[in-house]
Chains A and B, each alone.
Chain A
Amino acid sequence: MTARITYREACRQALREALLSDPKTFLMGEDIGRYGGCYAVTKGLLDEFGEERVRDTPLSESAYVGAGIGAAMVGMRPIVEIMTINFSLLALDQIVNNAATIPHMSGGQFAVPLVIRIATGGGRRVAAQHSHSLEGWYAHIPGLRILAPAAIEDARYMLAAALKDPNPVLIFEHVMLYNNEGELDPAIAEVDIAHAKVRRVGTGVSVIAYGNGLIKALSAAETLAAEGISAEIIDLRVLRPLDTSTLLASVTKTRRCVIVDEGWKSGSLAAEIGMRIAENAFFDLDAPLRRVCGREVPIPYAAHLEDAALPQPADIAAAVRGLVRPA
């Protein structure tokens, strides 16, 4: 028997399970307590677990992420929430210079088993300071593991796996996913945080996507299937370290690849993925690699402009058609 559940509820269940199962776990972030979280993920957890374990912080990302790093170094299992990815830049120094480097610089004497949850992505009409997709930047940093759950099961179970990792793990939750509903297979009780996953098997083209891009890619695949084009959809899931072998296996099979990335194209994660495919699967390619990325503008506020700036299912379908059935 399966139960329908929202992505938001899956995230909340994951947090609740973490708090219940390990007394060293605590939550920390802006408006996560009394307000219940900017995207209502932590709603109700303050009442259940109290102020010691669900802590509202001042508007100072650098300070509370730094506090989280310190707590993790001395044995706690902090889960820090950053309200939106643009604000995470204030904590960039803590994340890049401390969290990612301390295990290395201490010669392994300090682990930093910190989990940071960050809301990312566009589509909510909250303009250019709350809507970007900068997770590709974090995927550049050695020492971090970067997760991007799109499936309900990943929202539900990636957190537990992240907490077991002795190194800092950043989980990017796309803001457009929170209301998505799906079935949670009761047979699944855990997921790995190392591999990409084929979400739809196809033969004509590999579409690599993550986060909300995955949902759009799956939608495009439906449209394409009606036209007789079989697209294989790969959920990247883990942005760092990249699961190159799964990507290569798919592209070697289909010989064509479209990479969907809501981030800006220049210097994007899509560029890295494309390059790895070019380096390793060049002789298997039957068509040029293609990317569907965010337009290189600050995300607009106006709805029609925001929609135009983000990759849409129609853009993905068009890119696929251009490879499979060129004019």
Chain B
Amino acid sequence: MTDFLMPALGADMEAGMLVEWLVKPGDRIKRGDIVAVVETQKGAIEVETFAEGIVSELVVPIGTKVPVGSLLARIGEAAGEEPPAPHPIAAVLPPPIAPITSPVLPTGAAPIAAVHRAKVSPAARGRATELGIDATTLSGTGVEGAVTVADVETAARTIAVPAAAPARRKALDAAEMRKAIAAAMGRSKREIPHYYLTHTVELGASLSWLEAANAAQPVPKRLILAVLLLKAAALALRDVPQLNGTFVNGAFCPGEGIHIGWAISLRGGGLVAPAVLETDKRSLSELMSEMRGLVQRARAGGLRSSELASPTVTVTSLGERGAEAVMGIIYPPQVALIGFGMVVTRPWVVGSRIEPRPVVTVSLAADHRASDGHTGALLLNAIEQLLQNPEKL
């Protein structure tokens, strides 16, 4: 039996509202299946399961806001086979005639084993379900230490969950998202001693390669420069793993895999940075379709839990309408943010001549608690090298 819990879709998330169940008890699910939709400050997120089995119980009803880590559903072991069909002969045989005997009361039955259950009053159980709280984990003040309605409500207040909104997927709430960004960025600037590095990278080789590669492709399959930048950043992080991970409880924790959070600005304002999972292992065309999908889903409100929960580093690319360089703010608890400015044509010294060349300013904002400037410089140089050899990306 596996517990399916409310995931933390980002370090700043405290609670989420369950707005949709995409499975029902009895459904067979496998790792990666989307089982529920959770409303967060970042919009509606599709939550996947890591477990495999049969859904045995949906614990939290739709419309309930519950803290991160709350039990949402139980997933049982998948039964190996279908239950055996009843024996065909059994159906046609008359029931055996029982010999007539006087009823005999069983004697000496095994003693009933003592059952220990958490004492929770019936009303408190109901209230806890409404509030999405596991009442069995609370300490009670009622009769015999039972958890009462008041105990549940006190617990709910300490979690400070705002009143539940109507249970349905809704459009992104710009105000809510602004609050989430404010909280995360405020925390980042309060807690993280940032250091910043910038490095200007010549992009002639990359752009030429891109042009040639796209010429042979139909429009939908054409790549954009951002994909190259993303892949280059991912591969560079392989060489500089000190910048891929999180800073938790006073120590750097290396990321398991390179999952770059790709900053996507939203039309109504705000931004999200869902992860492109295993960025370094994907081909450019895979990354292209992945990014296209991410942008679409981010704007429509259909991001998945794994995408939001797991970025190990963030990349922001300002694109054609941006500025030359970005000094980013790290998204906690990550330790680095890599920024690509707008591609501009600038005088560039080639050999002993000055030529107009397309260049981009690559920047790094990094957590000085986790790494030093030298490490950061290694990363930027690695990115530069990779972008000079785009065919290897």
Contact = CB atoms under 8 A, between A and B. Distances in A.
Contacts of B121: 255, 285-287
Interface string A155-181: 000000000000000000000000000
Contacts of B148: 286-287
Interface size class, chain B: 10 to 19
A322 B146 CA distance: 12
A285 B144 contact: no
Contacts of A323: 143
B126 A287 contact: no
A256 to B, nearest CB: 9
A326 B141 contact: yes
A285 B123 contact: yes
A283 B141 contact: no
**For the complex, would chain B's binding face be called helix, strand, loop or mixed by DSSP majority?**
helix
Contacts of B141: 326
B123 A255 contact: yes
Interface in A304-326: 322-323, 326
A283 B122 CA distance: 5
B126 A283 contact: yes
Contacts of B364: none
A286 B124 contact: yes
A282 B121 CA distance: 9
Residue of B124, B125, B143, B148 contacting most chain A CB atoms (<10 Å): B143
A214 B143 CA distance: 25
Contact of A326 (B123, B124, B125, B144): B144
A284 B123 contact: yes
A290 to B, nearest CB: 9
B142 interface: yes
Interface in B124-171: 124-126, 141-144, 146, 148-150
Nearest to A252: B123
Interface string A227-267: 00000000000000000000000000001000000000000
Nearest to A288: B143
A326 B143 contact: yes
A326 B151 CA distance: 13
Nearest to B145: A326
Residue of A255, A283, A284 contacting most chain B CB atoms (<10 Å): A255
Contacts of B126: 283-284
Interface string B209-236: 0000000000000000000000000000
A283 B143 CA distance: 16
B26 to A, nearest CB: 26
Contacts of B149: 255, 286
B148 to A, nearest CB: 5
B335 to A, nearest CB: 48
Contacts of B125: 283
Contacts of A283: 122-123, 125-126
Nearest to B125: A283
Contacts of A285: 121-123
A37 B309 CA distance: 85
B326 to A, nearest CB: 56
Interface in B93-126: 121-126
Contacts of A326: 141-144
B391 to A, nearest CB: 68
Nearest to A255: B123
Nearest to A278: B122
Nearest to B152: A286
A326 B144 CA distance: 8
B144 A286 contact: no
A218 to B, nearest CB: 24
Contacts of B142: 286-287, 326
Given A286-B148, A286-B149, A322 B122 contact: no
Residue of A282, A287, A323 contacting most chain B CB atoms (<10 Å): A287
A248 to B, nearest CB: 13
Nearest to A282: B122
Interface string B271-291: 000000000000000000000
A283 B146 CA distance: 15
Given A255-B123, A282-B122, A286-B121, 10 more contacts: A255-B121, A283-B122, A284-B122, A286-B142, A286-B149, A286-B150, A287-B148, A322-B143, A326-B141, A326-B142
28 contacts: A255-B121, A255-B123, A255-B149, A282-B122, A283-B123, A283-B126, A284-B122, A284-B123, A285-B121, A285-B123, A286-B121, A286-B123, A286-B124, A286-B142, A286-B148, A286-B149, A286-B150, A287-B121, A287-B142, A287-B143, A287-B146, A287-B148, A288-B143, A322-B143, A323-B143, A326-B141, A326-B143, A326-B144
Q: Which 5 A-B pairs have the closest CB atoms?
A: A286-B123, A286-B121, A283-B122, A326-B143, A286-B148
